[in-house]
Amino acid sequence: MENKIETQEIILTKKDFESDQMVKWCPGCGDHAILKSVEAVFPIIGQKLGMNKEDFVVVSGIGCSSRFPYYLNTYGIHGIHGRAAALAMGIKLTNPKLSVWIISGDGDSLAIGGNHFIHIARRNLDVNYLMFNNEIYGLTKGQYSPTTPKGQKTKTSPQGSFETPFNTGELVIGAKGKFFARVVDTNPKLMQKIFLEAALHHGTSLVEILQNCVIFNNKIHALITGKEVKNDNQIILEAGKPMIFGKEKEKGIILEGTRLKVVKIGVNGITEKDLLVHDPTTEDTGIHMMLVSMTPPEFPAALGVIRSVKAETLEESIWNTIEYEKKASPLKSVDDLLNSGNTWEIE
Amino acid sequence: MTTKKNKVVELEQAVVRFAGDSGDGMQLTGSLFSDSTAFAGNDFATFPDYPSEIRAPQGTVSGVSGFQIHFGHKTVHTSGDLADVLVAMNPASLEANLRWIKTDAIVIVDTDAFIMKNFIKAGFKANPLEDGTLTGHIVLEVPLSTLTREAVKDLDLDNKTALKSKNMFALGIILYMFNRDYTKTFSFFETKFKKNPIVVNANKKVITAGYNYGETAEVFTNTFRIEKAELHKGRYRNVTGNLATAWGLMAASERSGRKIYLGSYPITPATDILQELAKHKQLSVVTQQAEDEIAGIVSTIGASFAGAMAVTTTSGPGLSLKSEAIGLAVITELPIVIVDVQRGGPSTGLPTKSEQSDLMQALYGRNGEAPVVVIAAKSATDCFYLAYQAAKIAMEHMTPVILLTDGSLGNGSEVFKIPKVADLSEINPPFVEANDPEYKPYKRDTEKLSRRWAIPGTPGLRHRLGGLEKEDITGNVSQDPLNHQKMTDLRQAKIDRVANYIPKLEVEGEQEGELLVVSWGSTYGVMITAIEEMHTEGKLVSLAHFQYIMPLPTNVREVFSKFKKIIVCEINMGQFVNYLRMHFQEFTYKQYNKVQGLPFMVIELKTKFEALLNE
């Protein structure tokens, strides 16, 4: 594989990634904060991975979030609806050295692009997938999406949606995904930290961003992101640390029988030692599946890197096999191939 | 068969058809006979005819699998109309193939399979060997199963295993019939079953027994020989259209220095191309079996953006699914090759049968004004050159190119004179050098009107492409009315200008006259055979066969104007003739169409053309 890391130090700044195009998202849209976070973190990623600004490629499908490539000064393609993951596959398999970023929304990824979404997770292509989840179709002005809660009224569900929504994390883990993280658009620091971890993870890094659509689904994540409730309704998971949350860090999560349970530290003899310690690296999906399913008010929503399991990537498997076969095979050119097998000479 | 009186009868050409249950190994029998034909130095073409079910009910007509080979001393253009020799392993295969053999054909049957149970399954009311069904034919009744069991009795095989080789007994007989060296077929088994010497031995014994049976059973009054074909000096091999397509693409990749990427989803009859390319990791071929047709082509567009020679392969239903993505390749002006191995439609249609009915879909099956280059291979070996050409045009002109082949080319095989990759024309994609200060994403070459290829990872060329309309030169998103008009015009003009880089239309036969026969794609073999036969009979008809369809060659009007009558023949309901009517309205076109899942036959074409000459 040509995936060697350059030794010279690369120094990039936010400016290197800012585009000269006018950003046309609605004022107050969560996308602005996500864009700023990406601009801030790309220079750090470049430095850590020895990537220059021309080594970043940003691809997208269709939807508000999918305008993203136009607003970043990198190589980029704004593709067709739902197919960003497929674009990324062709790019990464052709040139594994590139840092490839998929930008997509809940409709783009989980409805029209659902097939590509589960397959990219399963294949473990080394790309970073930022899925903006605002639980609504924004660009087409307010229809329900595959993540819209059951019963929610939208333009196409005037009596309330009849459908059970997907949970993005469950879908990723169920599709054999190796990396899943969740962030909120109201926490730029966490976004930058997690985007960096996604970039450093070797494999398909799926990051769900709970993003607010100020026009068509305003405050849909307020129960998680609201100032008054966020300490009680979010838990930011960190590898190797006990699962603690709450304003006073007074609450935690334990495993009781086969279920998770929220407990108060100090009550009924519970100490920090009784709490679950987060291990994102375990192959076992049991706890991870329960963590991604946690929803307020019963549980805090899990944020941070929930699952991060090491495995060979698709492009490594392919290119390592190519390198091996190149050495092992007597066929060195197309001429050799054409003249192999049953051939005969006419004098 | 033209015959000279001799114990060994010399023939100019012959057509042999092997038919049996889909589990009887007829494709293998046919391909081994093809190899033997190659060693004998004949020119040949083959065509497999098999059901879309893998194992349809045993003994029924729907389960019959066939393989036809046409071989000769002169150039062979088709797999042949009607067979001179039929091997029928059971009553169903006789029933399915009776109408595809000559009235005086030799028919070899396995009498062990001609029992009442099988007559009923095949739809015969009585034994066709006795009721006059085969009157006029020379019938060789051979108890193939019994003789096969007998041949391997000292090998201690179970009955089922022993009978697996009965197709080889039939092959032995045919090898004797055509004076072939039967030992040449042994190497196949020696290689394939290296680890299973009993199987090798059994097949060798059965082939030998079949050959000896032919020689000693005095069933033949004479045997046949076909002299070596007058082929040009060089190295040859047998190739199917699908293999040739795969290899042509690989040659283009090597010659252009671009990695080849294939994103594809399995679909009959195109899957062979994916399977072949998947084998060649040793030559750095990257293949990805995508989750669906759409991911197949979209990943291809991604690969092209990243600088690969990018290809997707499919058949009609898959092309439908790819439509939107082809539009993306049109507007991003990225080079991709789309191979459509056409089959009978609409919908799932006739998956294993051939048709030319995707032409309009290839030309126009997209939203918006979305022109692409469309070319069509004319024979199995031509698939190599047109696949190469498709890749060359795509990369040099920065456009999607659709290569149309079809089931008959894809699965049919021909003798292929092996070319040298270095002898193929150069491929020079319009790359941009790093940090080129003049680079603009939609700035164009003044001659070709192609934009340039700036590959991610190259310093100083960062840019965004996408499905939204782009501003001329800068490539910024633009909704400007006049800009949209301009970009639409430019995209069409870019395709039109490809006409300056493709061969002119050639006329076979007289350059002017009474009747011009027009065809395109896979029908070339049968068309040229009909025209040549008519010439020897003194009937002057000329052929203009198209490989380049969008854009058309620059001299079409000039060619058409030299003939009084024009007839366009195609395996669809008239898609190309209507395309010609649209482009060259001054001519009157007659048309000859057929959609039966079958190729044209020489005889039907000749009859049609003769009637037109006499009109």
User: What is d(CA B545, CA B573) in angstroms, rounded to the nearest whole number?
Assistant: 18
Element (H, E) at B409: helix B407-411
User: CA of A299 to nearest chain B CA: how many angstroms apart?
Assistant: 36
Of A95, A116, A331, the CB nearest to B283: A331
For an interface test with B, give the residue of A81, A94, A127, A316 to mutate (most B CBs within 10 A).
A94
CA-nearest of B268, B276, B262 to B341 is B268
Fill in the amino acid letter for B572. N
Enumerate the residues of chain A whose CB falls inside 8 A of the CB of residue B468: 78
Instruction: Region of B144 please: left (phi>0), alpha (psi -120 to 50) or beta.
Output: alpha
| Burial class of residue B170, CB neighbours in 10 A (0-12, 13-18, 19+) | buried
Structure tokens at B390: 């498709």
Residues sharing a CB contact under 8 Å with residue B109, sequence separation 6 or more, in sequence order: B88, B89, B94, B129, B139, B140, B141, B142
List per-residue pLDDT tens for chain A, 347 residues long. Answer: 445 555 567 789 999 999 988 999 999 999 999 999 999 999 999 999 999 999 999 999 999 999 999 999 999 999 999 999 999 999 999 999 999 999 999 999 999 999 999 999 999 999 999 999 999 999 999 999 999 999 999 999 999 999 999 999 999 999 999 999 999 999 999 999 999 999 999 999 999 999 999 999 999 999 999 999 999 999 999 999 999 999 999 999 999 999 999 999 999 999 999 999 999 999 999 999 999 999 999 999 999 999 999 999 999 999 999 999 999 999 999 999 999 988 998 88
Of A79, A90, A94, the CB nearest to B467: A79
CB contact under 8 A, A90 and B298: yes
User: What is d(CA B65, CA B18) in angstroms, rounded to the nearest whole number?
Assistant: 8
User: What is d(CA A254, CA B346) in angstroms, rounded to the nearest whole number?
Assistant: 59
| Distances in whole angstroms, Cα of residue B429 to Cα of each of B24, B426, B453, B466 | 49, 10, 8, 21
* Global confidence as pTM: 0.95
CB contact under 8 A, A346 and B232: yes
The whole-number average pLDDT for the span B196-210 is 94
Residue A285 lies in a domain: no
Residue of A nearest to B455 (CA): A75
Q: Is B398 near chain A, with CB under 8 Å? A: no
Model confidence at B508, pLDDT cuts 50, 70, 90, reads: very high
pLDDT at A10: 78
pLDDT at A7: 54
CB contact under 8 A, B301 and A90: yes
Of B233, B261, B422, the CB nearest to A90: B261
| B262: phi then psi, degrees, rounded to nearest 5 | -120, 120
pLDDT tens digits, B235-255: 999 999 999 999 999 999 999
pLDDT at B49: 82
CB contact under 8 A, B299 and A341: no
For an interface test with B, give the residue of A22, A91, A329 to mutate (most B CBs within 10 A).
A91
CB contact under 8 A, B237 and A69: no
Model confidence at B231, pLDDT cuts 50, 70, 90, reads: confident
Report the CATH number that the domain containing residue A167 is assigned in CATH: 3.40.50.970
* Helix-then-strand count for chain B, H and E: 20, 23
User: What is d(CA B553, CA B150) in angstroms, rounded to the nearest whole number?
Assistant: 62
Residue pair A191/A183 in contact by the 8 Å Cβ criterion: yes
User: CA of B468 to nearest chain A CA: how many angstroms apart?
Assistant: 8
User: CA of B278 to nearest chain A CA: how many angstroms apart?
Assistant: 11
Q: Enumerate residues 90 to 109 of chain A having a beta carbon within 8 A of any beta carbon in chain B.
A: 90-95, 97-98
Q: Could you write out the three-class secondary structure of B299-313?
A: HHHHHHHCCCEEEEE
CATH of domain B8-225: 3.40.920.10
Residue pair A211/A30 in contact by the 8 Å Cβ criterion: yes
CB contact under 8 A, B302 and A87: yes
> Above 60 in pLDDT, residue B319?
yes
* Other Cβ atoms within 10 Å of B575 Cβ, number: 21
Structure tokens at A234: 């979010």
CB contact under 8 A, B299 and A90: yes
Residue A254 lies in a domain: no
User: Residue A106 sits in which domain range?
Assistant: 14-234+295-323
CA-nearest of A249, A314, A278, A299 to A119 is A314
User: CA of B350 to nearest chain A CA: how many angstroms apart?
Assistant: 27
Residue of A nearest to B258 (CA): A94
Element (H, E) at B3: none
Q: Enumerate residues 409 to 438 of chain B having a beta carbon within 8 A of any beta carbon in chain A.
A: 418-422
Element (H, E) at B281: none
How many Cβ pairs within 8 Å bridge chains A and B? 203
Residue A251 lies in a domain: no
CA-nearest of B165, B166, B168, B128 to B36 is B168
Q: Is A87 near chain B, with CB under 8 Å? A: yes
Residue A126 lies in a domain: yes
Q: Enumerate residues 78 to 137 of chain B having a beta carbon within 8 A of any beta carbon in chain A.
A: none
Residue of A nearest to B458 (CA): A54
User: What is d(CA A345, CA B2) in angstroms, rounded to the nearest whole number?
Assistant: 28
CB contact under 8 A, A76 and B466: yes
> Above 90 in pLDDT, residue B55?
no
pLDDT at A1: 44
Enumerate the residues of chain A whose CB falls inside 8 A of the CB of residue B263: 86, 89-90
* Other Cβ atoms within 10 Å of B120 Cβ, number: 12
In the DSSP assignment, the letter for residue B403 is: E
CB contact under 8 A, B299 and A93: yes
pLDDT tens digits, A144-168: 999 999 999 999 999 999 999 999 9
B237-423 matches B507-614 in fold: yes
> Above 90 in pLDDT, residue B509?
yes
Residues sharing a CB contact under 8 Å with residue B612, sequence separation 6 or more, in sequence order: B515, B565, B567, B590
Enumerate the residues of chain B whose CB falls inside 8 A of the CB of residue A79: 298, 301, 328, 466-467
Model confidence at B6, pLDDT cuts 50, 70, 90, reads: very low
CB contact under 8 A, B299 and A86: yes
Number of domains comprising chain A: 1
Enumerate the residues of chain A whose CB falls inside 8 A of the CB of residue B234: 345-346
Q: Which CATH class is domain B507-614?
A: alpha beta
Residue A244 lies in a domain: no
ipTM (interface pTM): 0.96
Residue pair B77/B379 in contact by the 8 Å Cβ criterion: yes
Fill in the amino acid letter for B77. H
pLDDT at A4: 52
User: CA of A296 to nearest chain B CA: how many angstroms apart?
Assistant: 35
| Burial class of residue B137, CB neighbours in 10 A (0-12, 13-18, 19+) | middle
Q: Which residues pair with A237 in a beta bridge?
A: A304
CB contact under 8 A, B418 and A55: no
Among 3.40.50.970, 2.60.40.1260, 3.30.70.3450, 3.40.50.720, what is the CATH number of B237-423? Answer: 3.40.50.970
pLDDT at B50: 75
> Above 90 in pLDDT, residue B22?
no
Residue of B nearest to A345 (CA): B235
CB contact under 8 A, A337 and B476: no
**3-state class of A60 per DSSP?**
strand
Of A21, A73, A343, the CB nearest to B237: A343
Domain boundaries, chain B: 8-225, 237-423, 507-614
Whether residue B269 is preceded by a cis peptide bond, meaning omega within 30 degrees of 0, is: yes
Averaged confidence pLDDT in chain B: 95
- Widest CA span of chain A, in angstroms? 96
Of A55, A88, A325, the CB nearest to B302: A88
pLDDT at A8: 62
| B405: phi then psi, degrees, rounded to nearest 5 | -125, -165
Pairing of strands B64-72, B13-21: antiparallel
User: What is d(CA A116, CA A110) in angstroms, rounded to the nearest whole number?
Assistant: 9
Exposure string (b/e) for B294-316, b if CB count within 10 Å is 16 or more? bbbbbbbbbbbbbbbbbbbbbbb
| Distances in whole angstroms, Cα of residue A306 to Cα of each of A67, A194, A253, A278, A336 | 28, 11, 14, 8, 50
> Above 90 in pLDDT, residue B219?
no
User: Where do we find the tokens 């062709």?
Assistant: A90
